[in-house]
Amino acid sequence: MLNPLWLDTFKMLVETGNFTRTAEQRFMTQPGVSQHIKKLEDACGCALLIRLGKGVELTEQGQRVYDYALSLSKHEQALIESLKFDAPYEGKCVIGCSGALAQRLYPVLVELQVTHPRLSIHLEVAPNRTILNNIQASSLELGIVTQQPDEELFSSEKIGHESLGLILPKDTPYEAIDDTLLALGLINHPDAMHYLKLYFSHSGEQALMQLDPSRLPQRGYINQLSQILLPVSKGLGFTVLPIKVLDSFADAANSLTIYPARHDVTEPLYFVKTPHRSLPLRYQKIQSLIVEALESS
């Protein structure tokens, strides 16, 4: 790598055309300028300029080295300017959350991008573990998860909660709910077992607390969030999901019902990011909109 000090001296000499003025502007002696030029020529293995009295003329190789030094200077200035850039409504934002949250949040984020088209919003739907892994790998900058992660590895902030519902076909009887679920069978999905264990243990229903989720017969499996409620609406089974998922299911009121447990069952929601790192300004509005959307729903 060519010494940047030698290149700066060479560039200054070309632009001033004079050893004396170069020495003054570089706060050097003229012999010091000559020494920089000699060392640069030795490093390049060729003569870079021809001395003409008090002036200089570039050789062909010298012109190439000058163009290179000019390019380095421009790139350095561009880098410095880019480090100052932190506009609140411009740039790429990469966020990860569950599919259920994405259904609620993505329309809000799209409206923000319509208002500020220089924003580029990337929403990744993934489970908790994948979100945390991607944050550690720096492919996600901000995630929303339902379990507070290790404080030594992540910075987290509680932002709300998500209500879970035991969702049954319409007109399913609520009596002897454990027997009803065993008879119906589960419409399984990637988060079903996690939701079932949480729901059964926090619903305040003795029959559910004593029911082992692994005993439930499976009537089907689907990993597409928008389709999980379809077999339930046809009477083929039951499932557990965030209640807000029903808002996007057509005719939910006429084909589905939510079991009225003694206690509401909720999951906490946390913003998660890399520890000790401040997110760019453009994330501030996104975070505030997400919190508003969660509070209003």
Q: Do domains 91-160+268-296 and 162-266 have the same CATH topology?
A: yes
Q: What is the pLDDT of residues 38-78, one digit of tens each?
A: 999 999 999 999 988 778 889 999 899 999 999 998 898 88
Q: What is the pLDDT averaged over residues 69-91?
A: 83
Q: What is the pLDDT averaged over residues 80-107?
A: 88
Residue 80 has pLDDT above 90, yes or no: no
Q: What percent of the chain has pLDDT over 90?
A: 76
Residue 19 has pLDDT above 70, yes or no: yes
Pick the CATH number of 4-84 from 3.30.420.40, 1.10.10.10, 3.40.50.12780, 1.10.3470.10: 1.10.10.10
The domain segmentation of the chain, as residue ranges, is 4-84, 91-160+268-296, 162-266
User: Which of helix, strand or coil describes residue 59?
Assistant: coil
pLDDT at 84: 66
Q: What is the pLDDT of residues 159-213, one digit of tens each?
A: 999 999 999 999 999 999 999 999 999 999 989 999 999 999 999 999 999 999 9
Look up residue 258 and give its amino acid: I
Tell the CATH topology of 91-160+268-296: D-Maltodextrin-Binding Protein; domain 2 (3.40.190)
Burial of 189 (0-12, 13-18, 19+ CB in 10 A): buried
Is 196 within 8 Å of 213 (Cβ atoms)? yes
Tell the CATH topology of 162-266: D-Maltodextrin-Binding Protein; domain 2 (3.40.190)
Residue 81 has pLDDT above 80, yes or no: no
pTM of this prediction exceeds 0.85: no
**CB-facing half-sphere around the CA of 45: CA atoms within 13 A:** 0
